[in-house]
Amino acid sequence: DTGVSQNPRHKITKRGQNVTFRCDPISEHNRLYWYRQTLGQGPEFLTYFQNEAQLEKSRLLSDRFSAERPKGSFSTLEIQRTEQGDSAMYLCAVLDRENTEAFFGQGTRLTVV
């Protein structure tokens, strides 16, 4: 089962506040990815984990962003001092057991006002 649950589904926050999103894969997956999607664009890679190790971070991931996967299962993405430009859909994805296909969660829609 390659289901991925993301919470919350929607988040509205005031500029300058911190927010945290959570990604829960239903079963064990070695690799977990975070992407960001803005209106009219395809998703863009942010970072990924191999088990609990964060292997790569995109230049899109400024110092205000931090991601963790402490036990190699669920993952969190935190944004500090949010800006209006952070408004986007944040997507989590895992690879299937053969590491050939990526399956996405429903995403967290962030709106910074």
Partner 1 sequence: TQLLEQSPQFLSIQEGENLTVYCNSSSVFSSLQWYRQEPGEGPVLLVTVVTGGEVKKLKRLTFQFGDARKDSSLHITAAQPGDTGLYLCAGAGPTDYKLSFGAGTTVTVRA
Question: Which residues sit opposite 67 in a β-bridge?
Answer: 77
3-class DSSP string for 3-28: CEEEECCEEEECCCCCEEEEEEECCC
Residues binding partner 1 (CB under 8 A): 4, 6, 31, 33, 35, 40-45, 48, 55-56, 91, 93, 95, 99-107, 109
Task: List phi, psi (to 5°) of 86.
Answer: -80, -10
Q: Provide, rounded to whole angstroms, the least separation between the CB of residue 43 and partner 1.
A: 5
Q: Which is nearer to partner 1, 9 or 81 (CB)?
A: 9
**Among residues 26 and 55, whose Cβ is nearest to partner 1?**
55
